[in-house]
Chains A and B, each alone.
Chain A
Amino acid sequence: RKEVEQDPGPFNVPEGATVAFNCTYSNSASQSFFWYRQDCRKEPKLLMSVYSSGNEDGRFTAQLNRASQYISLLIRDSKLSDSATYLCVVNPSQNTDKLIFGTGTRLQVFP
């Protein structure tokens, strides 16, 4: 089983749509969780951290379900500029900054 697993997509959605990505992780002792965004031919950038209580940043909502070992990202009112690959990232230990990346889910928002 992959350490971090994501549906590669692509998800093709119209502007204004709501889209959700899920991600599962295999290590139940994992401590920290994140969503990174990577635009085509660019470097990954942190989109948001994922907290146990769930967190929201504008149109983006991240949730964590430790019991089921999955993380989700919800994007409301999609914009063309949201088109990118969304990487699910897990830090398996509190004592290291080693990050485990998923393969990413590609989102394409069309007019």
Chain B
Amino acid sequence: ETGVTQTPRHLVMGMTNKKSLKCEQHLGHNAMYWYKQSAKKPLELMFVYSLEERVENNSVPSRFSPECPNSSHLFLHLHTLQPEDSALYLCASSQVLGPPGSYNEQFFGPGTRLTVL
């Protein structure tokens, strides 16, 4: 059992639907991340929130909209998705602003497997 939970674990949606993915971390971390993992591709970083501010947005289409209401929760709002958006969406958290040179391990949630029809 990890300290990062994600719901739902599986989601099937049509191209006109609106849905949201939820992530919650119980580790006291101050940074959260959304990644996309497609078959035969590396994990792609989508968004980074550090201290509840968005610090990274990797040219993600506007049909993906993140929200970070507090340091423990992260949402990914989805609307008018395309079939090519079908993938595993992983949330991660870490503790940033550690000592210089320290590594802040990212802990991943189990992911939401999304299928867009």
Interface residues of A (CB under 8 A from B): 4, 8, 32, 34, 42-46, 49, 87, 91, 94, 97-104
Question: Chain B: which residue is nearest A8 at the CB level?
Answer: B40
Question: Chain A: which residue is nearest B108 at the CB level?
Answer: A43
Interface size for B (C-beta < 8 A) is: 23
Contact A103 B42 (CB under 8 A): yes
Q: Is chain B's binding surface mostly helix, strand, loop or mixed? A: loop
Knowing A49-B103, A97-B96 touch, does A43 contact B2 (C-beta < 8 A)? yes
Residue B105 lies at the interface, judged by CB distance under 8 Å to chain A: yes
The 9 lowest CB-CB distance pairs between A and B, nearest first, are A43-B108, A101-B43, A101-B42, A103-B42, A46-B105, A43-B110, A97-B96, A44-B108, A32-B103
Residues of B within 8 A of A44 (CB): 43, 90, 108
Shortest B2–chain A CB gap in Å is: 7
Our pick among B40, B42, B45, B90 for the contact of A98 (Cβ within 8 Å) is B45
Q: Mark B43-59, 1 if CB is under 8 A from A, else 0.
A: 10100101000001000
Shortest A81–chain B CB gap in Å is: 18
Knowing A97-B94, A97-B104 touch, does A104 contact B31 (C-beta < 8 A)? no
Residues of A within 8 A of B48 (CB): 97-98
Shortest B7–chain A CB gap in Å is: 14
Q: 17 A-B Cβ contacts within 8 A?
A: A34-B103, A43-B2, A43-B110, A45-B108, A94-B100, A94-B101, A97-B94, A98-B45, A98-B48, A98-B56, A99-B45, A99-B106, A100-B42, A101-B42, A101-B43, A103-B42, A104-B42
